[in-house]
Amino acid sequence: MKTEDILVRETTISDFEDIMEVEKLAFGYNKEAKLVAELLEDNTAGPIVSLLAFHQNNAVGHILFTRAYFDEDKEQPMMHILAPLAVKPEYQRRGIGGMLIKAGIQKLQAKGSNLVFVLGHKDYYPRYSFIPHASHLGYPAPYPIPEEYSDCWMVQEISKKGFEIGKGKIRCSDVLNKPEHWRDEESDR
């Protein structure tokens, strides 16, 4: 399989089952699929960017970007958070995640978004221009992140305004702005 064999497009309502399948298979459980289903219905998450990657008409990857806000009453420039990125296990490590990230950022730029945040793998996302330690740059996460994982909270400027839009604690859409989405599952056991 070559990356030119992959088609990336925006999702439609009829893609819901494909999205759920990709999320469940990529993570091996239903938590992310349930989160995505709830985010797709969350009025505070828009404008969203939801993309599917297809190989031979089979959905193999999904990415979702939802609205992010400053957690105080002030001007709310357009910002987004990437959560989650999912690729079916047999298609991982083939560049599909990167294709989804790049295509998603292009769509966000067209919508006028300025910054994109992600809480993700510290070695993966910097390959796609995400800057670790977003808190140190003036963008604390919605909930505290332990210091040993602080480099996993990242940001990327995607407009000419970029970091000039201001600084402040980040708040996500209502569904994503809950503590259970911001803590280490290991600590819950």
pLDDT tens across 122-153, in order? Answer: 999 999 999 999 999 999 999 999 889 999 99
User: Which whole number is the average pLDDT over 34-52?
Assistant: 96
Residue recorded with tokens 């294709």: 99
* pLDDT at residue 2 in the model: 64
pLDDT at residue 30 tops 70: yes
pLDDT at residue 189 tops 50: no
Alpha-carbon span 35 to 37, nearest angstrom: 5
Alpha-carbon span 179 to 28, nearest angstrom: 22
pLDDT at residue 14 tops 60: yes
Backbone angles phi, psi at 59, to 5 degrees: -70, 125
The residues with which 86 forms a beta bridge, in sequence order, are 62
> For the chain, which domains are there?
3-176 (3.40.630.30)
User: Which whole number is the average pLDDT over 40-56?
Assistant: 96
DSSP class of 46: P
pLDDT at residue 187 tops 60: no
pLDDT at residue 167 tops 60: yes
Mean pLDDT of the chain: 93
- Return the percentage of the chain with pLDDT > 90, whole number: 87
Determine if the pTM surpasses 0.85. yes
Q: Identify which of 140, 145, 138, 143 has the alpha carbon closest to the alpha carbon of residue 165.
A: 138
Q: Are 100 and 85 in contact (CB under 8 A)?
A: yes
Greatest CA separation for the chain: 49
pLDDT at residue 7 tops 60: yes
Quick one: tokens of 151?
């480099």
Between 182 and 137, where is the model more confident? 137
